[in-house]
């Protein structure tokens, strides 16, 4: 009888398909920190419990140029800090028109092997934002849906975007407009490619192109470099 129960137990384990891509001993279906480095011990949720774990900081510098007669340029520095499921995101943009834009947001993510859900509350130099990102993973493809609600002193805006990432190539569609009236909608397609260096896996170069659907005057190219520290 015990042998029969053991066989049934083993078959049920095989049927459950235990998957652990980061080799921390926690099934990816319940692992709340899916990409924990191998050198750290984890708790029952799969998150590092080692006192020496300081999270991950990603730095990215992007330079853009608008392909129009005025040829406006900008440089943006992005700083994103991840600690388990918590996210601190900030950016600083400097434009050739001598304007600048600062942004800071606090986020939280829920992640499994099949999806990732992120919530952000942020504030820029001019307004406040609330963002929801939803990623669905299917093999080498990640499908993304995102929505941002912007609280402005003049008018409120809402952005919708949808796209996908295949390996290191990304393409997305963005629709932005006023909540009160969608007559001033802005629609564009953005595509980018990130190249990761084999010797330095956390170092990458990103190139991209942004095209407005409504006007050929709004064409932007950008190039940047990024690195992640653990």
pLDDT at 72 exceeding the cut of 80 = yes
Count of residues in the chain:
230
d(CA 122, CA 179) in angstroms, rounded, equals 19
pLDDT in tens, 29-62: 777 787 777 777 788 778 877 656 788 999 999 9
CB 171 within 8 A of CB 164: yes
Question: In a 10 Å sphere around its CB, with 0-12 CB exposed, 13-18 middle and 19+ buried, how is residue 224 labelled?
Answer: buried
Class of 56-229 in CATH: mainly beta
Q: CATH 2.40.160.40 occupies which residues in the chain? A: 56-229
Name the band, by pLDDT with cuts 50, 70 and 90, for residue 24. Answer: confident
pLDDT of residue 14: 47
CA dist 71 and 92 (Å) reads: 20
Q: Tens digit of pLDDT for each residue in 171-200?
A: 999 988 876 665 567 889 999 999 999 878
Residue 150 has pLDDT above 70, yes or no: yes
What is the C-alpha separation between 38 and 117, in angstroms, rounded?
A: 24
């Amino acid at each position: 009888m015990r042998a029969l129960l053991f066989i049934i137990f083993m078959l049920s384990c095989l049927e459950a398909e235990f998957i652990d891509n980061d080799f921390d001993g926690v099934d990816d279906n319940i692992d709340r920190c899916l990409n924990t480095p191998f050198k750290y011990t984890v708790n029952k949720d799969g998150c590092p419990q080692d006192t020496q774990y300081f999270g991950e900081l990603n730095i990215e510098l992007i330079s853009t140029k608008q392909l129009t007669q005025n040829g406006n340029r900008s440089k943006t520095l992005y700083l994103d800090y991840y600690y388990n499921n918590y996210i601190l995101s900030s950016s600083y943009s400097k434009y050739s028109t001598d304007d600048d834009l600062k942004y800071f947001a606090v986020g939280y993510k829920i992640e499994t092997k099949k999806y990732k859900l992120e919530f952000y509350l942020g504030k820029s130099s001019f307004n406040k934002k609330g963002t929801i990102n939803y990623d669905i993973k299917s093999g080498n493809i990640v499908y993304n849906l995102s929505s941002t609600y912007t609280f402005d002193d003049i008018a409120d805006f809402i952005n919708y975007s949808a796209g996908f990432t295949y390996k290191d190539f990304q393409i997305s569609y963005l629709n932005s407009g006023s909540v009160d009236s969608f007559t001033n909608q802005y629609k564009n397609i953005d595509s980018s490619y990130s190249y990761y260096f084999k010797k330095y896996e956390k170092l990458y170069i990103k190139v991209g192109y942004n095209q407005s659907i409504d006007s050929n005057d709004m064409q932007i190219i950008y190039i940047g470099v990024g690195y992640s520290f653990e």
